[in-house]
């Protein structure tokens, strides 16, 4: 859709935007604008310069970001990093008390989520062996069934303090039924949070309408914000007026109107911005001024989703014809287009740590992960035709390259 507005590696077909999105060509201009302000104004850049200076820098991103995640502008902000934001929001929304102390998540979640959740349980003196519930796929399957998730939530009932679920599973590429999961969590009185690292900018989201309490994400995958770009977070507006909600406060989360009076008392900024902690990283956020408006320009996530489904359907169809040692490749990602995003995860038998490099040399840039579900002697190629910049002709060449390298 906007391929010409990205710098893409000249050495191959780039299908690794689920790990790091390519650089928007306009990113350098956005960075240069802020570097110029720093050079010419120094400290006065905080209140002078483009759009009134840096003090309200995060607000430049709110409108486009809200459109991408289906939220109201005050419900979103860019700050910190994904796992930092997960910890900060769990301080507010994981409040174990009495019987209600368990957390439920998907089995095989991204390790960072597992680390954070186990750390939070231990911080509260709880035992992950008994207070962490994990729901995985049935034996012999790769996708987690929605009915199993909902059944586990209702079975936990009033012992459940938090539902923490991924939007898209990083390994299988499964897009979960988030509105159903959010509704079930709220029905049993639990808080609901989503990790949208592999979902934001990839699939349509309606965080406000779904009623999740919070969500977190990174900005360097489908949002194309650059390596290590600041993360983002959503806090539903029903919590915005509750200044008594516990949080790990930091000075950039203090309301801007009197932040520089330097008072000891913490008064949070309205909305998700009240969960900011440290000074806004202006240079780290500047590339997002180039990337986020692209989603609005192409007609929003609905238009992007249509293009994504076209690309993944073509790829899945062509891969179905491919054979490795006489056997078809196994695609772990659900065949139902509504249950997957812009990623197909292809199971490849045998231990092949060199496969990623061999494919890159052959002209296909994707990534390879060792099996983490069944413990088998195999791995998975994650191939992600991101619709902002991937061409159908590129997707059609993937099976040919795979066949050549695997042979």
pLDDT tens, 220-262? 999 999 999 999 999 999 999 999 999 999 999 999 999 989 9
CATH number for the domain running over 300-406: 3.90.1150.10
Indicate if 300-406 has the same CATH topology as 33-295: no
Residue 162: strand, helix, or coil: strand
Q: Are the C-beta atoms of residues 68 and 292 closer than 8 Å to each other?
A: yes
Give the residue from 225, 189, 173 showing the smallest Cα distance to 369.
173
CATH number for the domain running over 33-295: 3.40.640.10
How many other C-beta atoms are found inside a 10 Å radius of the C-beta of residue 67?
Answer: 17
Kindly provide the residue ranges of all beta strands, DSSP E only, lying in 200-311, ordered along the sequence. 214-217, 232-235
Domain spans of the chain, in order of start: 33-295, 300-406
Block residue for tokens 């034996």? 139
Structure tokens at 319: 């891969």
pLDDT at 124: 97
Tens-binned pLDDT, residue by residue, of the chain (407 aa): 799 999 999 989 999 999 999 999 999 999 999 999 999 999 999 999 888 999 999 999 999 999 999 999 999 999 999 999 999 999 999 999 999 999 999 999 999 999 999 999 999 999 999 999 999 999 989 999 999 999 999 999 999 999 999 999 999 999 999 999 999 999 999 999 999 999 999 999 999 999 999 999 999 999 999 999 999 999 999 999 999 999 999 999 999 999 989 999 999 999 999 999 999 999 999 999 999 999 999 999 999 999 999 999 999 999 988 877 777 788 999 999 999 999 999 988 877 889 999 999 999 999 998 876 555 567 899 999 999 999 999 999 999 999 999 88
Give the residue from 407, 214, 360, 383 showing the smallest Cα distance to 311.
383
Estimate to the nearest angstrom the gap between the alpha carbon of 328 and the chain centroid.
31
What is the rounded CA–CA span in Å between residue 262 and residue 39? 27
What is the rounded CA–CA span in Å between residue 165 and residue 196? 9
Residue 263: strand, helix, or coil: coil
Phi (first) and psi of residue 115, to 5 degrees: -60, -45
pLDDT at 373: 55
Estimate to the nearest angstrom the gap between the alpha carbon of 291 and the chain centroid.
15
């Amino acid at each position: 859709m906007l391929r010409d507005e990205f710098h893409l590696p000249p050495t191959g077909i780039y299908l690794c935007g689920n790990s790091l999105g390519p650089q928007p060509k306009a990113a350098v201009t956005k960075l240069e604008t802020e570097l110029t302000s720093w050079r010419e104004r120094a400290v006065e850049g905080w209140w002078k310069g483009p759009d009134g200076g840096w003090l309200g820098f995060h607000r430049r991103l709110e409108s486009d970001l809200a459109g991408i995640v289906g939220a109201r502008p005050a419900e979103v902000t860019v700050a910190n990093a994904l796992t930092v934001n997960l910890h900060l929001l769990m301080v507010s929304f994981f409040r174990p008390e009495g019987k209600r102390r368990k957390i439920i998540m998907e089995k095989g979640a991204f390790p960072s989520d597992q680390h954070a959740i186990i750390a939070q349980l231990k911080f509260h003196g709880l035992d992950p062996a008994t207070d962490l519930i994990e729901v995985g796929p049935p034996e012999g399957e790769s996708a987690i069934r929605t009915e199993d998730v909902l059944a586990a939530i209702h079975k936990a009932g009033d012992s459940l303090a938090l539902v923490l679920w991924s939007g898209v599973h990083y390994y299988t590429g499964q897009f979960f039924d988030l509105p159903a999961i959010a509704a079930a969590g709220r029905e049993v009185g639990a808080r609901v949070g989503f990790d949208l690292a592999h979902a934001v900018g990839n699939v349509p989201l309606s965080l406000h309408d779904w009623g999740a309490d919070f969500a977190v994400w990174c900005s360097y995958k489908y949002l194309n914000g650059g390596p290590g770009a600041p993360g983002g977070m959503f806090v539903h507006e029903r919590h915005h007026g509750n200044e008594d909600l516990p949080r790990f406060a930091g000075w950039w989360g203090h309301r801007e109107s009197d932040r520089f009076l330097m008072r000891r008392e913490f008064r949070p900024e309205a909305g998700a911005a009240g969960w900011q902690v440290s000074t806004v990283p202006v240079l780290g956020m500047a590339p997002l001024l180039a990337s986020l408006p692209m989603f609005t320009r192409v007609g929003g996530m609905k238009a992007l989703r249509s293009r994504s489904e076209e690309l993944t359907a073509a790829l899945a169809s062509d891969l179905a014809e491919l054979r490795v040692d006489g056997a078809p490749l196994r695609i772990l990602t659900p065949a139902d287009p509504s249950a997957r995003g812009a990623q197909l995860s292809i199971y490849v038998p045998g231990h092949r740590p060199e496969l990623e490099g061999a494919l890159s040399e052959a002209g296909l840039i994707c990534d390879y992960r060792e099996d983490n579900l069944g413990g088998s002697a195999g791995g998975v190629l994650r191939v992600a035709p991101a619709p902002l910049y991937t061409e159908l002709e590129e997707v059609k060449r993937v099976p040919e390259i795979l066949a050549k390298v695997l042979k």
